Amino acid sequence: MPIASPKPLLFGLSLGLIASVAQAENVHAHYRVSLIGLPIGAADASSTIDDKHYRVDLNVKLTGVASLISNLRMALASTGAVQGGAPAPLTYATTASNSSETRTLRMALASGTVRQVQYSPFWEEDKSPDHVPLTDAHRRDILDPLSAFLLPVPPNANPVGPSACRAHVPVFDGYTRFDVSLSYVETREVHEKGYSGPVTVCAARYTPIAGHKTTARGTQFMAQNRDMEVWLAPVGRTHVVIPYRVSLMTQVGRIVVEAAELRATP
Q: Is 210 helix (H, G, I), strand (E, B) or coil?
A: strand
Burial of 181 from C-beta contacts in 10 A (0-12 / 13-18 / 19+)? middle
Residues 6+ apart with CB under 8 A from 238: 17, 18, 19, 21, 25, 49, 264
* Burial category of 173 from C-beta neighbours within 10 Å (exposed 0-12, middle 13-18, buried 19 and up): buried
* Neighbouring-strand partners of residue 86: 83
Q: What is the pTM of this model?
A: 0.86
| pLDDT per residue rounded down to tens, the chain (266 residues) | 445 444 443 444 333 333 333 467 788 999 999 999 999 999 999 988 777 888 999 999 988 777 767 788 999 999 999 887 778 999 999 999 988 899 999 999 998 899 999 999 999 888 899 999 999 999 999 999 999 877 888 878 888 999 999 778 999 999 999 999 999 999 999 988 878 899 999 999 999 999 999 999 999 999 999 999 999 998 766 677 889 999 999 999 999 999 999 888 87
Is residue 213 within 8 A of residue 126, CB to CB? The reply is: yes
